[in-house]
Structure 1
Amino acid sequence: MASAVAITHCHRCGTESSSTRRIRACARCFSVGYCSKSCQRADWSGRGGHKSICRAGPVFCADPHDAAVRLEVKRSDLDEWEDVGPVSLVDDAANLTLDSAGSGGHHRTGTTPPRVYAARKLPKNAKRIMGKESSQNYIYQHSPDGVDENLLIFFHGAGDSHLPFDALGRRMALPQTATLSISASISLRSIGESNLGKSSTFVELPFGLGHTWFEEMDYECSGETLPTDHPRRSKSMNRALEMLYPLLCSLTDQGAPEPTWIPERVFLLGFSAGACLAMEMCRMWMDEGKMPLGGAICIAGGIQTKEAVSSVSGLTDSKQQKQPTDVLIIAGGDDSIYPTKAAKMSKQLYHQSKVQIHVQKGKGHSMLGSKDEMQVVMEFLSKRLVRRLVSMEGRSR
């Protein structure tokens, strides 16, 4: 999609390209260029700004040497894509620490949007499941633009915390997308009639090393990694999925009296053990006959067993049409824990046509840590996020 014509002048100030000054093309249309980001921003909006004439296809394009990309999202009222302006890539998300996550408060603080459209609270049943006593073990953030049309749920790796993932969500600042970051230290309550009020917890690591979602290692005796088909690992994974399944159902319950999300607008992002959990949840969701979720991003992890988890509802019909959720797997070329061979196996075990694998050269077993990885993630999301045209809704009132 790059222009065949070389861009030699800044479209804003006229500065010429030279050995010391590079003119970067607009990452969306490649028809004009700028000497700096300040010139690009100044020329973008306003009367006669570049925004009014900039056109591109449904997926963003990026100059590989620039740190900004354009993201387009799908409008829910029309089968069209619409530009949401420049989106900055996350600079080395792997370096996010607990300190960078801020105070970890339950709701976002800061500048309030001048007008708030469709800002959604967590559904009451979801709050009941997570419980008041667990309010410090999850963070729900409204979308920066106040329109919570989509929901992105984060699952951390073993021994980690939900706080860096909340910070990642805030730095991504996806349009019309709320985020929910959950800690494996949370206690989830049952709201079913048979086990009303009963709380369940995930796995606590020894020596105060934190929590994880399921048993990947023999934490009681040897400390060695359990085989993927080990009964303890499978039982622990099943238990984790059975705990999270009601929560995901409560977030997508279309019969609830308050606003929820339809499944195709809910996205999962997990790292390592959290990635395994996210992809297994997609498989369970499919086997339960649910409408597919918007998508799942699995970083350094994925399903590793052929046998799916048992049905939660007990009503799974093997003859019913299965609708898998789209999955993106980010694998490291030098990852010894979840190598590229394991990523390819996850694809085979799930659904060949619904899994996209990106192998990052030189990457070990780590979180997103490069612009290339973030570009792949943003492109995956740009094809699936839904955008609500709130400006038209305001005119109809």
Structure 2
Amino acid sequence: MDSREIHLAEASAPSPRVKAAPRTSAIRTQFSYSPSDDGTDENLLILLHGLGDTNVPFARLGRSLKLPQTATLALRAPDIVPFLYEQAFQWYPSFDQLGDLIERPDPSHALNLFKNILIHLTGECGWPPHRIHLFGFAQGGSVAAEACLQWWRRELQLSSQSRMTDNKTPVRPLGSLVTISGPLLSYPTLSKPCETPVLVFRRPRELRNADLDAFRKGFSKVKDVERAGEGMPRATLKEEWQPILEFWGEVLGWRPGDGLYEVTTGASS
């Protein structure tokens, strides 16, 4: 299903302008949810922090972006980082019992958690999958990327099963992914690349060419942005956030009136 068909389907069965807030009983980790400032929940931006952090600063970040018609959901990773006295969390075990870095981490626990969250958001909360956008830093970016592929595999399987019963079910990718220095943890093997648009924001020496090759293998639309420095994009440098904001301007949905839909074609003014 292309973007025009998606919009026509929305016009006949639009999602609610104001979405139901996520339930704590359905999201089995701490989270911070904020509806859109302008009263129209057309998009949902899910933010995933990096290793050793919490959802709190990413909740502040989501609100400070003030993206139009966009609610935000900042999730806290499910596991506590060992050997630390402060509240620091990880999406998957990164260190062994001796404190050494695990070369091949297993994110399955986080991915199962995220899968159930997406099912809750697209079901009870009323979010269309292509209106859900992911933003992750480092370890959080890796989980967000793997979650996009996991969702895509699930959709491909459901669509394949529906064709066997002559009940054609469209494949519904998630809206977009921004990963900040977060590589894929597995090399993707897919019958069809994931159609979720991706922006890979990286620092020098943080991601290898093989990491970018994996993204281009798993996703059909990948933008690569490299900036000097380290860590998260700095709020004091416009040139660091500008490509991310321009990307969101291309992928975020926009609802100009009841029952009418279009996609923004440039950066927000």
TM-score (norm 2): 0.77
Number of matched residues? Answer: 232
The answer to whether structure 1 residue 367 and structure 2 residue 247 are counterparts is no
Q: CA RMSD in A?
A: 2.7
Decide whether aligned partners of structure 1 residues 372 and 307 sit closer, same or farther in structure 2, where only a CA change above 3 A counts. Answer: same
Decide whether aligned partners of structure 1 residues 238 and 349 sit closer, same or farther in structure 2, where only a CA change above 3 A counts. Answer: farther
Identify which of 207, 215, 230 aligns with 2:93.
215
Equivalent-residue separation in structure 2 for 1:214 and 1:345 (angstroms): 23
Equivalent-residue separation in structure 1 for 2:127 and 2:21 (angstroms): 10
Decide whether aligned partners of structure 1 residues 324 and 77 sit closer, same or farther in structure 2, where only a CA change above 3 A counts. Answer: closer
For structure 1, the residue ranges without an aligned partner over 5 or more in a row are 1-75, 79-116, 185-200, 309-317
Decide whether aligned partners of structure 1 residues 307 and 347 sit closer, same or farther in structure 2, where only a CA change above 3 A counts. Answer: closer
Match of 2:152 in 1: 286
State how 1:83-98 maps to structure 2 within 5 Å: none
Structure showing greater Rg: 1
Identify which of 182, 185, 189 aligns with 1:301.
182
Equivalent-residue separation in structure 2 for 1:158 and 1:273 (angstroms): 6
SS at match of 2:245: helix
Quote the offset at 1:323 in angstroms: 4.0
**1:294 aligned partner, one-letter code:** G
Decide whether aligned partners of structure 1 residues 368 and 157 sit closer, same or farther in structure 2, where only a CA change above 3 A counts. Answer: same
Quote the offset at 1:174 in angstroms: 0.4
Decide whether aligned partners of structure 1 residues 206 and 349 sit closer, same or farther in structure 2, where only a CA change above 3 A counts. Answer: farther
Conserved 8 A contact 1:273-1:301: yes
Conserved 8 A contact 2:44-2:72: yes
Deviation by residue 1:270-327 (Cα, 9 ceiling, x = unmatched): 000000000011111111125111101000112032267xxxxxxxxx76x5543111
State how 1:3-82 maps to structure 2 within 5 Å: none
Identify which of 237, 241, 263 aligns with 2:129.
263
Percent identity for Structure 1 against Structure 2: 29
Quote the offset at 1:372 in angstroms: 1.5
Match of 2:162 in 1: none
Conserved 8 A contact 2:188-2:218: no
Conserved 8 A contact 1:205-1:212: no
Match of 2:267 in 1: none
Equivalent-residue separation in structure 2 for 1:145 and 1:303 (angstroms): 34
SS at match of 2:135: strand
Deviation by residue 1:336-390 (Cα, 9 ceiling, x = unmatched): xx33435424324423x32111011x222x0111312211111111111111123
Identify which of 180, 188, 199 aligns with 1:328.
199
Equivalent-residue separation in structure 2 for 1:287 and 1:239 (angstroms): 17
Decide whether aligned partners of structure 1 residues 342 and 373 sit closer, same or farther in structure 2, where only a CA change above 3 A counts. Answer: farther
Decide whether aligned partners of structure 1 residues 211 and 205 sit closer, same or farther in structure 2, where only a CA change above 3 A counts. Answer: farther
Match of 1:179 in 2: 72
Decide whether aligned partners of structure 1 residues 307 and 77 sit closer, same or farther in structure 2, where only a CA change above 3 A counts. Answer: closer
